[in-house]
């Protein structure tokens, strides 16, 4: 794995092909497209920028918890947070909404009625202080 993210200048992103499973903790209907990454989850350093897509009617059944910061922007569609094990209920949000979560925060489960596209940034602290927005 590279020690730094690549320098990219407005490269085309194929929104139809190249989507992969985000991992074993994600159910069918969730897919990701990693835009840039140097994240090392074992060494707990680096960052990842990705798109996460949830297909219409897809849902997860358990909350997520991770050891890195996560910033999420709902680009398109609807996202429901806190649904039950059958994908029912929860709090619905529409594009354009934003979340910023520190490490260790339980969040989800998630579902989407019409499908959604999320822009996410995951990162580990490097200085011991949270990054400042601008």
Beta bridge partners of 20: 32
Query: Max Cα separation, the chain?
Result: 42
**12 pLDDT higher than 70:** yes
51-79 pLDDT, tens digit each:
999 999 999 999 999 999 999 999 999 99
Q: Which two tokens stand for residue 91?
A: 């709090």
107-126 pLDDT, tens digit each:
999 999 999 999 999 999 87
Question: pTM to 2 decimals?
Answer: 0.88
**24 pLDDT higher than 90:** no
Across the range 38-56, mean pLDDT stands at 96
**22 pLDDT higher than 90:** yes
Domains identified in the chain and CATH numbers: 30-123 (2.60.120.10)
% the chain with pLDDT above 70: 92
């Amino acid at each position: 794995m590279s020690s730094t993210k690549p320098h990219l200048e407005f490269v085309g992103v194929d929104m139809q092909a190249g989507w992969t499973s985000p991992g074993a903790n994600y159910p069918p209907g969730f897919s990701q497209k990693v835009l840039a990454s140097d994240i090392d989850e074992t060494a707990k350093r680096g960052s990842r920028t990705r798109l996460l897509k949830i297909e219409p009617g897809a849902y997860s059944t358990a909350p997520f918890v991770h050891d890195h910061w996560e910033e999420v922007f709902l680009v398109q569609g609807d996202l429901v947070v806190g649904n039950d094990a059958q994908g029912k209920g929860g709090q619905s949000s529409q594009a354009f909404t934003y979340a910023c979560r520190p490490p260790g925060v339980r969040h989800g489960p998630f579902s989407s009625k019409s499908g959604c596209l999320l822009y996410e940034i995951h990162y580990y602290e490097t200085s011991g202080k949270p990054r400042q927005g601008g």
